[in-house]
Chain A
Amino acid sequence: MGMTMTQKILAAHAGHDSVEAGQLIEAKLDVVMANDITGPMAVPVFYQMADKVFDKDKVVLVPDHFTPNKDIKSAENSKSLREFAKKQELTHYYEVGQMGIEHALLPEKGITVAGECIIGADSHTCTYGALGAFSTGVGTTDIATGMANGELWFKVPGAMKFILTGELSPYVSGKDVIIHIIGRIGVDGALYKSMEFVGDGIAGLSMDDRFTMTNMAIEAGAKNGIFLVDEQAENYMKEHSQKAYTIYQPDEDAVYDEIVEVDLSKVRPSVAFPHLPGNARTIDEVEAMEPIRIDQVVIGSCTNGRMDDMRKAAAILKGHTVHPDVRVMIIPATQKIYKECIKEGLVDIFIDSGCAFNTPSCGPCMGGHMGVMAAGEKCVSTTNRNFVGRMGHVDSLIYLASPETAAASAIAGRIANPEKVGDR
């Protein structure tokens, strides 16, 4: 029986010729990652099992959530993570100053490449599937076990195939595509499964579009999201990584539980309304409603804090002023992106238009710091979750959108169509 991309990667890491959906396997791990929330909790669990990590080059720690530390407790947690990294002599520990948001940082540093089997103690670990890797989020016990043993048990997932065709319209990006898809299949539409992205339409998606899409596979309940590796993905890996990579193609007779076709040319700027990422509306539907006044805009995160996202937001904001009732936080995901924003003059555009330009951090995405909301406030955010209370007060509201829609909304003071920002 044919295998999907994911099944081939898992088979190779479990030492099997083939695997099928539902099969339980033990697979070797290429990267084991944790952050300042999940990592410190894993340290005592790890020491119950082992004294040394299985491979100091393969365990990656990134303090990115509550850093630069927001309070004493989070500082203590970061300290324990730092001490662990030193004691274990980890190659890949990124202190504040070099640190970026983990899911932007690891591909940029060349730590994750195609064909690998990757776990991270963060649900958005599925991001690295954009490079053709199997990559999934796990909890503390699993990550501690992975750090100790270098392998973990998995149930081989079934898969849904997404055939992408056509080209995106201007002002439409990967974020709109994934909100559109989750709106169609629902927040548990891919529960326990792989989302495999194939089709001619891939070629027109930038790597940053793809990272945004696989990042949110978890928001459809998926175990992982994965893109077919093409020339663009290979070029990205050659530019960023020294590691050898392996490209896995799905078999022609691979079994898919469902096939979903997406014509990219028909995808509209899209917004996910509170309180589910699957609560999708097109911008046209939003424009037909009473205006939704907003208090805050966040442009950043592991979903949309990459260079493409910064450029797109800046192109909208250039020559405009942020609405007086709105505060805008722009958060580049890594130091490299931060520097590039300076070099390209984007920081001038952001600051001149009235935005705050912050240091890399997950920050406000999960209500940590740097943009927590009060009761009754509304935010247009390029992040990935709009759950109740996610960004602060339980009575605050989050609307998920692309960097372009977020920037257009910042100017208008309400959720706005990026196609209609004048004077560009």
Chain B
Amino acid sequence: MKALGKVFKYGDNVDTDVIIPARYLNSFDAKELASHAMVDIDPEFAGKVQPGDLIVANKNFGCGSSREHAPLCLKAAGVSCVIAETFARIFYRNAINIGLPIIECPEAAQGIEADDEVEVDFDSGKIYNRTKGMEFQGQPFPEFMQKIIQAEGLVNYTNQKRNR
């Protein structure tokens, strides 16, 4: 499994209220949520993001509310992976559970800038910055986590396992 795309870069403590403001939480339709993704920190994001693009941020990405709408809207917007120095814990769980790959890698968060083209190999955990020719080692995704992501989330994964 791989991700490849251009990078949107953000700083520390990107909270769930800017990822998807509460005023849009009267819906949980993923596509509708995606149209408002990141609006309060980057109003151009939803119009510019292309399938496969990545988000790279610094510390404590996804802090704040438990709204699963946050990783869901990023995934529906086409984001293929979020790389950060650290993640807030509820966001981390929610992202894996809905099948949005996320990787903690402080070196990559430092060594990647906005608009860089970045490739991530989930088997090896290698993060390659094609624009700058730099490589970083993140934690590889264990097999079960890759399966959760391939199944587009924990529920499908669980049901697939049950049906087998």
Contacts and interface: CB of A to CB of B under 8 A. Distances in A.
Q: Do A and B come from one complex?
A: yes
Interface of A: 37-38, 40-41, 45, 48-49, 65-66, 70-71, 73-74, 77, 120-123, 125, 137-142, 144-145, 187-188, 191-192, 218, 221, 223, 276, 366-368, 372, 385, 387-390, 394
B154 interface: yes
Contacts of A394: 40
Given A141-B68, A388-B40, A77 B90 contact: no
A332 B157 CA distance: 43
Contacts of B21: 367, 389
Contact of A144 (B22, B155, B159): B155
A364 to B, nearest CB: 10
26 contacts: A38-B68, A41-B28, A48-B155, A65-B25, A66-B25, A71-B26, A73-B26, A120-B66, A138-B66, A139-B90, A141-B68, A142-B94, A145-B154, A145-B158, A187-B60, A187-B63, A188-B88, A192-B89, A218-B90, A221-B63, A221-B89, A223-B89, A367-B23, A385-B64, A389-B18, A389-B40
A387 B41 CA distance: 11
A360 to B, nearest CB: 18
Contacts of B159: 48-49
B8 to A, nearest CB: 17
Contacts of B153: 141
B68 to A, nearest CB: 4
Nearest to B25: A37
Contact of B97 (A66, A70, A139, A191): A139
B59 A188 contact: yes
A40 B17 contact: no
B18 A388 contact: yes
B119 interface: no
Contacts of B98: 141
B67 interface: yes
Contacts of A187: 13, 60, 63
Given A45-B155, A137-B66, A141-B155, A366 B22 contact: yes
A191 B13 CA distance: 12
Q: Report which residue of B15, B90, B98 has the largest number of chain A beta carbons within 10 angstroms of its beta carbon.
A: B90
A388 B17 contact: yes
A188 B13 contact: yes
A48 B66 CA distance: 21
Given A188-B59, A390-B22, A276 B94 contact: no
Nearest to A45: B155
B23 A368 contact: yes
Contacts of B23: 367-368, 372
B65 to A, nearest CB: 5
Interface string B66-101: 111100000000000000001011100110011000
Given A188-B60, A389-B21, A390-B22, A123 B154 contact: no
A123 B18 contact: no
A387 B93 CA distance: 22
Interface string B135-162: 0000000000000000001111011000
The 3 lowest CB-CB distance pairs between A and B, nearest first, are A139-B94, A139-B68, A73-B26
A73 B29 CA distance: 11
Contacts of B40: 388-389, 394
